[in-house]
A and B are shown apart, each in its own frame.
Chain A
Amino acid sequence: MKSRVLVVTSGKGGVGKTTTTANLGTALAMMGKKVVLLDTDIGLRNLDVVLGLENRIVFDIVDVVNAKCKLKQALIRDKRFEGLCLLPAAQTKDKSAVTPHQMKNLTNELRSDFDYILVDCPAGIEQGFRNAIAGADDAIVVATPEVSSVRDADRIIGLLEAAGLNKSRLIINRLRSKMVKRGDMMNIEDILDILSIDLLGVVPEDEVIVISTNRGEPAVMENASRAGAAYRRIARRVTGEEVPMFNLDDSNNILDRFKKLLKLAR
């Protein structure tokens, strides 16, 4: 199988890049794929704690590009999932410690051992961003249904296109269907209209994300998690499988059923 380098990016911070990288990577590994997750947020590493691998770090990405250690020595194997590895970011250096050229070489080296190389991009549009996208085949843009996040996503999509990444796909994260229903949150079509980009998936707001991050166990491991289920479907789409968009209609109470009935009657 030809390996794919996918960068997970958003422009704005706090919209769920790291959560998305961790869950998508874990879901792909659960499907039997060989996956490596690259944390490129040098100075502010977090993917390790989201995955619960923070106590096993010996070397990091800066050590690898500076040849302080071998690539294999820096890769942390996730013992829970066969085929899932993490290459952590350095915590003490800054974003200029790695160049786009070095990143490209690094991702190319990883291609021989992995099916999917997921690059967790830092927030912003400076060197950290340029590093993260340097070796990528495609980009996954994460946005929440908010003005600031969609605005930044628009900027990021422009920058990705300028860098030759024209087939970016969007994950709408933290959608609250109840707020959408009462007209207090932009819906999926609103966001797709504005950004004119293909949709990869929609992840509902889910408390399980907070709990699973507290524990260092990605939500895709929770069968009952709605966000986890959404990420599992996104993982299948990433592998090329056709998976219909999930009906986010979570409320099935009497009032809603009555409303549907009314709509049918009209």
Chain B
Amino acid sequence: MLDIISRIFFRDHGGSREVARERLRLVLIHDRASVSPNFLNAMKEELIKVIREYMDIDEESLVVSFENEEDSVALVANIPIRGFRHAVNE
């Protein structure tokens, strides 16, 4: 009850601060990643190393990039698979 009163009287609405913070967060993910090309390349190398243990992949055509969704940023890796290294027997 007190909450409702205080919301009516004191305008506790979701202000533009939240919007600013969220937009800034997303734009900085892009900025920071694109500012240092080493970052993406280093991550790509690591990814290849791990995946290679399980699969035979086409390392040349592997693409790692950032993609914008409505309210999030996704890391998208497109990794063509040639085949599995070996059957995993438990």
List the interface of chain A (C-beta within 8 A of B): 146-147, 150-151, 154-155, 158, 180, 182-187, 190, 194, 255, 259, 262, 265-266
Please tell me if the beta carbons of A194 and B24 are within 8 angstroms of each other in the complex: yes
Instruction: Report B1-40 residues with CB < 8 Å from chain A CB.
Output: 2, 6, 10-18, 20-21, 23-25, 27-28, 31-32, 35-36
Q: How far is the CA of A265 from the CA of B3 in the complex (A)?
A: 12
Q: How far is the CA of A187 from the CA of B12 in the complex (A)?
A: 15
Number of B residues, CB within 8 Å of A? 22
Among residues of B, the one whose C-beta sits closest to the C-beta of A194 is: B24
Q: Which of A146, A182, A187 has the most CB of B within 10 A?
A: A182
Please tell me if the beta carbons of B24 and A151 are within 8 angstroms of each other in the complex: yes
Q: Which of B2, B20, B36 has the most CB of A within 10 A?
A: B20
Q: How far is the CA of A185 from the CA of B15 in the complex (A)?
A: 8
CB distance from B78 to the nearest CB of A (A): 28
- Known pairs A158-B35, A183-B13; A150 contacts B18 (CB<8 A): no
Please tell me if the beta carbons of A190 and B6 are within 8 angstroms of each other in the complex: no
Query: What number of residue pairs across chains A and B have CB atoms under 8 A from each other?
Result: 53
Q: How far is the CA of A13 from the CA of B84 in the complex (A)?
A: 55
**Cβ contacts under 8 Å, A155 to chain B:** 31, 35
Q: How far is the CA of A259 from the CA of B3 in the complex (A)?
A: 11
Please tell me if the beta carbons of B17 and A190 are within 8 angstroms of each other in the complex: yes
Q: How far is the CA of A154 from the CA of B16 in the complex (A)?
A: 21
Q: How far is the CA of A169 from the CA of B14 in the complex (A)?
A: 30
Please tell me if the beta carbons of A183 and B35 are within 8 angstroms of each other in the complex: no
Among residues of B, the one whose C-beta sits closest to the C-beta of A145 is: B20
**What are 28 A-B interface contacts by the 8 Å CB criterion?**
A147-B20, A147-B24, A147-B27, A151-B31, A154-B28, A154-B31, A154-B32, A155-B35, A158-B32, A158-B35, A158-B36, A180-B17, A182-B11, A183-B12, A183-B15, A184-B16, A184-B17, A185-B16, A185-B17, A186-B17, A186-B20, A187-B17, A190-B21, A194-B21, A194-B25, A259-B6, A259-B10, A265-B2
CB distance from B38 to the nearest CB of A (A): 11
Q: How far is the CA of A258 from the CA of B27 in the complex (A)?
A: 39
Q: Which of A151, A184, A187, A266 has the most CB of B within 10 A?
A: A184
Q: How far is the CA of A158 from the CA of B21 in the complex (A)?
A: 19
- Known pairs A155-B31, A158-B32, A262-B2; A147 contacts B16 (CB<8 A): no
**Cβ contacts under 8 Å, A183 to chain B:** 12-18
CB distance from B42 to the nearest CB of A (A): 16
**Cβ contacts under 8 Å, A185 to chain B:** 15-17, 20
**Cβ contacts under 8 Å, A187 to chain B:** 17
Top 5 nearest A-B pairs (CB, nearest first) are A183-B15, A184-B15, A183-B17, A147-B24, A184-B16
CB distance from A193 to the nearest CB of B (A): 9
Q: How far is the CA of A151 from the CA of B26 in the complex (A)?
A: 11
Q: How far is the CA of A154 from the CA of B31 in the complex (A)?
A: 9
* Cross-interface CB contact of B28 among A146, A180, A194, A262, cutoff 8 Å: A194
**Cβ contacts under 8 Å, B23 to chain A:** 147
CB distance from B23 to the nearest CB of A (A): 6
**Cβ contacts under 8 Å, A150 to chain B:** 24
Please tell me if the beta carbons of A146 and B20 are within 8 angstroms of each other in the complex: yes
CB distance from B70 to the nearest CB of A (A): 18
Q: How far is the CA of A190 from the CA of B17 in the complex (A)?
A: 9
Q: How far is the CA of A151 from the CA of B34 in the complex (A)?
A: 14
